Amino acid sequence: KAGVTQTPRYLIKTRGQQVTLSCSPISGHRSVSWYQQTPGQGLQFLFEYFSETQRNKGNFPGRFSGRQFSNSRSEMNVSTLELGDSALYLCASSSGLAGPDTQYFGPGTRLTVL
């Protein structure tokens, strides 16, 4: 099976802009979770989508949002970018049928905010 794919791999934006990141899960997986990874805060959970519905949410401001499509692909959006949003954004997919189950991470999208 193909692994989790994330696009784009690298992104440079300026403060105030918005950005959309995409994640394609492993075929057959219905759960997609998003994490932010930074040197200072480590890996932090953003949200999880299962069958197009947000199932869990972390402690991030409303500028961070996501959605999932009927084919399980997911996007996350960050509006009004701040310098502190610079991070590696990781998505992880799993079957989602009985949580928690094994999550498979993609390579991430490296977002730099200038």
Binding site for other proteins (CB under 8 A): 4, 31, 33, 35, 42-45, 48, 50, 55-56, 58, 90, 92, 94, 96, 99-108
What are the C-alpha distances in Å from 93 to residues 63, 81, 97, 113? 23, 25, 12, 26
Task: Record the tokens describing residue 111, joined without a space.
Answer: 């977002």
Q: What is the C-alpha to C-alpha distance for residues 93 and 27, in angstroms, rounded to an integer?
A: 9
**Nearer Cβ to other proteins (16/99):** 99
Least Å distance, CB 104 to other proteins, is: 7
Q: What is the C-alpha to C-alpha distance for residues 25 and 4, in angstroms, rounded to an integer?
A: 5
Q: What is the C-alpha to C-alpha distance for residues 67 and 52, in angstroms, rounded to an integer?
A: 7
**Nearer Cβ to other proteins (78/89):** 89
Least Å distance, CB 114 to other proteins, is: 22
Q: What is the C-alpha to C-alpha distance for residues 44 and 89, in angstroms, rounded to an integer?
A: 10
**Nearer Cβ to other proteins (70/102):** 102
Least Å distance, CB 111 to other proteins, is: 15
**Nearer Cβ to other proteins (39/62):** 39
